[in-house]
Amino acid sequence: MKKRVFTISLSLILLAVFILNNFMGQRITIAGSWNNLVIFTFDSLLPPDWSVAQSEECGFFCSDAWLGMWETLKIAFVATVFGFIFAILISVFAASNLSPLWVSLIARAVLAAMRTIPSIIWATIFLVAIGLGPVAGIMAMTFYTIGYLGKLQYEAIEGMETAPLEAAKAMGMRRHEAAIFVAVPEVANNLLSQLIFMFEYNVRHGTVLGLVGAGGIGLTISNSLNSLQYDRVTALLIVIFVVVLIIEGISMVARSFVTEEGDVKRPSWFTIFHSPNQAVRIHHFDDESE
């Protein structure tokens, strides 16, 4: 088994190196590129212009940075909630252990179509249809969330044990009853964990959608880029980084309540960089040390 894993891993690495070598056909001057990067960083990006995160009226909470970040959070929240709901509905039809084969194939094709189109393309489509603003961002993010979460959800349903579904069938439950009262509750922890992950992803990806005019802090970044105010962009990116870290810490604690290792009570601040399982091991190690 170990030899097989080693062989497969080595083959993948060699293939990646071969492909990379093909991409390196056009040589670039590495030294010159690094010099340009250093000059651009210290002349344009640094130091950050914190005026974008300040306001004479009420400080940070009236600044362009906070208002844009707050709009991004609202867009991500609404899109995640509605995307999650519709994804569950479609994933029930996509799961082969709950639906006939032809229904499952159609539902999977719908999810694949939504997932294949990048969210930034969805945003462009809805910007043309609706116009600039957060509504286009919500619609784009919702469609992509449905496609992405739908796949994770129907795979979770298909991966559940067969005994509960067989018991439901023996009791005379119909397919939709088995889905509502058996399948969904059985994989509820996985679904909630996926919901939390998707919200994190949408917050981060909302910045990209804003660059094309779909609202949020990305729109503020786009305006700063267009006016060549790169030091303001640096300040905005730092704000995004801090907010994402806070969300990561909150989601880590929230995930501990929907996993088997739900006894994480006092996570250390640095465990936001770890998965819940790693955080649990660190927590147990701290307890043993005490």
Note whether residue 172 is domain-resident.
Answer: yes
Note whether residue 193 is domain-resident.
Answer: yes
Q: Which of 8, 65, 29, 24 is nearest to 239 (CA)?
A: 65
Note whether residue 203 is domain-resident.
Answer: yes
pLDDT at 276: 47
pLDDT at 241: 86
In this structure, what CATH number is given to the domain that contains residue 195? Answer: 1.10.3720.10
pLDDT at 286: 46
- DSSP state, residue 97: T
Domain count, the chain: 1
Domain extent for 62: 51-229
Note whether residue 143 is domain-resident.
Answer: yes
Answer yes or no: are the C-beta atoms of 182 and 168 closer than 8 Å: yes
Q: Which of 16, 9, 148 is nearest to 86 (CA)?
A: 148
Distance, in Å, from the CA atom of 132 to the CA atom of 137, rounded to the nearest integer, reads: 9
pTM score > 0.85 for this model? no
Note whether residue 44 is domain-resident.
Answer: no
- DSSP state, residue 173: -
pLDDT at 30: 54
pLDDT at 208: 78
pLDDT at 25: 54
Note whether residue 275 is domain-resident.
Answer: no
Cite the DSSP H helix spans in the chain.
Answer: 2-23, 30-40, 64-94, 101-116, 119-130, 134-158, 162-170, 175-178, 184-186, 188-210, 217-226, 230-255, 276-289
Distance, in Å, from the CA atom of 142 to the CA atom of 125, rounded to the nearest integer, reads: 13
Q: Mean pLDDT for each consecutive 10-residue tract of the chain (290 residues)?
A: 81 84 59 66 73 65 77 89 90 83 88 86 84 83 89 82 74 73 76 83 81 75 80 84 83 67 42 45 47
Note whether residue 204 is domain-resident.
Answer: yes
Note whether residue 284 is domain-resident.
Answer: no
pLDDT at 78: 92
- DSSP state, residue 118: -
